[in-house]
Amino acid sequence: MAGRGRGRGRPSMSITTEQLGFAKGETLPPPVLQPPLKYPLLEYKPLPLNITTELSYLFELKKGYAEYLRESPNNVLPIVVKKDIERYSDRYQDLITDKSSYEIRYDWSRMPVELKRQLRKRKKQKLENPKKKQKHIDVESKLQELEKKESSQQSDVEEEEKEEEETEEKDDEQVEEEEEELDEEMDEGTDYANNYFDNGEGYDDEDDNLDDGPIY
Amino acid sequence: MSVMCRKLCSSILFEHFGQIVQCVAEDLFKHGARSLELIRYATDLPVTKVKEALCVLIKHGFVRYSRVERGLEFSLIYENVLLILRYPKYMFFIKTMCGDESEMILEEVLMNGYITASEVITKTYKKIEQSPSGRQPSVPVLKEKFELLVKNQFLTRSLCTDTVGGRTNEKPDFTLPNLNLTAIIKKIEGDNNSDPGDSKIYWKVNFDRLIQDLRDQIIVSAIRRRLDENAGELMRQLLFLMYLRTASWAHTSNPIPLTEIKEAVKKTSYPLLIHHLDQYLHLIEEDSSQFLKRVGDSGGGQFSVNMKEAFEQLAWATLENIVMERFGSKAARIFRLVRDKKYIEQEQIQQLAMIPAKEAKHLTYTLLQENYIQMQEMKKSGVSAAPIKTFFLFHIDLNVVVYMEVEHCYHALYNIMQRREYEVNSNKRMIDKQLRMQTLTTNLKEHGATEEQLAEIADLMTPSEKQQLEKVQNTIKKLGITELQIDDTLFLLTMYLRYH
């Protein structure tokens, strides 16, 4: 015992059980070995809620306000990715939703101009470089493709060239749309984004081509 | 600016403005002021959407921007976001003060952040026209109501500099523009070319003024509940006199002479109050709540309203009630005792509170553990640090407890909002169905459908579904009302913190 040598009847422990409110000889509560409950039982139940007409009215106001704001253009909606198929109902959906951009709703004399969408002119200048790169890559990959297919068929290649020219034209149109979209397109130009996985869907098509092609 | 506060702000914004705005605001909350590029980088949203969200936030006064060397920096004013919780109370207050039309005008301003007078009148006119009550709106009345709101300073001009940080706020401007009424009427009729003469003069809600009014309501109702209706009215008059001579957020009012109080009271229709004015003044002054103080004897007596003290007393009362409801009346007795004695030892607590030693200790330690009371160690100098030589004094640090309780309010509000959203989402199908049925029936009624057809539509919902729906709607309503009530507590506690 640590306190034995000191004499004078000092208690060996610094706190006696009596100090904590336990009588002598009373058994101490067992140690708690479990974590406390996530939802502890309530010793005192909360007061019942009495709903007055005033509170009901306040609640209606609150609900109405929240609903109005949610349905107003203040609720910024994410850009909806176009689905694979054009549906008949889409045409009417466009009429219902307000497609106008957010700029017309604000008085720009009192908002920072930086929050406007960027002007197109500036964008084009910026985006010239990536565009060139993209073309460059396209040519290389196209050449490779051409080499592969040269041996088999010539007429097909011509068709494909036409197709790719068409897609390029479309690309040019899209350039003006959005920065992010372009970024994604750029990604597609690199090998990393290419999907080499062949799910076999195109298998039949190639067969058809063979059949349709010229016979040597 | 705790985690709970952030979560609460975030879910308030989600409820009202949707996910993108929530995302942008949460990022601003986390990182403080930052530029557009950084927000875009952190939130991973398209630039246009971030910009749009910022526009919405700026328009509603939740975000302010300042110009730094490289472009703009945006920062969130989270206090304003929390104000949304109180919007219904402001609207209701205006309804009782200035009438229904004024309430609609205020609602319209709240919905838009800031708006021109002509636009607000046009919109309210259309709203009244469409409302089922069948009232006939009139432009001159609406204009009058609008001017009433401005005259009472519930609305103030929204200046460009409001949302630009760094500059000192200019004095609020309440000058009314000259409105061209005929042009507004023309505009309502569909002529877009007429100019109502107030373009670029925007109005916003003067929250400071509304907060003061809610504060006064608390004080008046406290006195009314403590004494009676007459005393409440006297307090209202005193507060009114206080406005005439004191800055709006001063701790104590400048002295109000008795003669002026008498004159003000004479104009009211409370005969008992006029008769027993001296007694009532004496009662409020002697009351332990100390709302009123006698500061001089000249001119029959000089009185001063003590706002700071009043809110301290109200905060104490709120905390006592919280302890009472959470831990029982015996714990509340201990809490009051500790408050009364400032610093007190364990031994004394059990003696003075007249609670058996074991129970008293248990309750005291529970309160200590839950942070409602604090402990201070006092060591005798020069003696070893053995606990037996140390005094443990219990005391209450009001600021600490109030801050903790504010946190609890945030937490409770957040939990309730989550629960409400869960209830709505898990019963979305049914709620939507009911909405569809409602629109269908109203449509059919307009086209003159027969009773049978209407009954057929009503039968689309099975009885069990109806029961379930009613249950869900009740739960949602209960949760919503609880939110409003918690906000009452939150408001009182923030008022206390504002004064201390």
pLDDT (tens digit, 9 = 90+) per residue, A132-178? 445 556 677 778 888 888 767 655 545 555 555 555 555 554 544 44
Report the pLDDT averaged over residues B42-67.
Answer: 86
**Cβ separation of A78 and B19 shorter than 8 Å?**
yes
Residues of B in contact with A72 (CB under 8 A): 111
Interface contact B400, partner A, CB < 8 A: no
Q: Which of B19, B49, B92 sits opposite A61 (nearest CB)?
A: B92
Rounded distance, CA B53 to CA B22, Å?
A: 9
Q: Tell me what pLDDT residue A2 has.
A: 47
Higher pLDDT, B188 or A70: A70
**Cβ separation of B46 and A178 shorter than 8 Å?**
yes
Helix (H, G, I), strand (E, B) or coil at B114: coil
pLDDT, tens only, B358-370: 899 999 999 999 9
Rounded distance, CA B184 to CA B144, Å?
A: 14
Quote the mean pLDDT of chain A: 64
Q: Which of A20, A62, A79 sits opposite B484 (nearest CB)?
A: A62
Report the pLDDT averaged over residues B217-242.
Answer: 90
Encode B215-247: b = buried (16+ Cβ within 10 Å), e = exposed.
bbebbbebbbebbeebbbbbbbbbbebbeeebe
Interface contact B345, partner A, CB < 8 A: no
Report the pLDDT averaged over residues B117-121.
Answer: 85
Interface contact A126, partner B, CB < 8 A: no
Count of pairs with CB atoms under 8 A, one residue in A, one in B: 127
Number of separate helices (H) and strands (E) present in chain A: 6, 0
Higher pLDDT, B484 or A106: B484
pLDDT, tens only, B325-382: 989 999 999 999 999 998 998 888 988 988 888 899 999 999 999 999 999 888 776 6
Q: Tell me what pLDDT residue A1 has.
A: 45
Interface contact B46, partner A, CB < 8 A: yes
pLDDT, tens only, A117-137: 765 444 344 444 444 445 556
Interface contact A108, partner B, CB < 8 A: no
Report the pLDDT averaged over residues B116-142.
Answer: 82
Q: Tell me what pLDDT residue A128 has.
A: 45
Q: In what order do the strands lie in the sheet with B374-379?
A: B344-345, B390-395, B374-379
**Cβ separation of B17 and A56 shorter than 8 Å?**
no
Nearest residue in chain A measured CA to CA from B420: A63
**Cβ separation of A49 and B71 shorter than 8 Å?**
no
Report the pLDDT averaged over residues A175-197.
Answer: 51
Q: Tell me what pLDDT residue B333 has.
A: 93
Interface contact A193, partner B, CB < 8 A: no
Query: Of the candidates B65, B76, B52, B137, which has an alpha carbon nearest to the alpha carbon of residue B101?
Result: B137
Please say whether the beta carbons of B118 and B198 come within 8 A: yes
Q: Tell me what pLDDT residue B316 has.
A: 94
Q: What's this model's pTM, rounded to 2 decimal places?
A: 0.77
Is the interface score ipTM higher than 0.85?
no
Nearest residue in chain A measured CA to CA from B356: A21
What is the least distance, in Å, from the CA of A36 to any CA of chain B? 14
Interface contact A46, partner B, CB < 8 A: yes
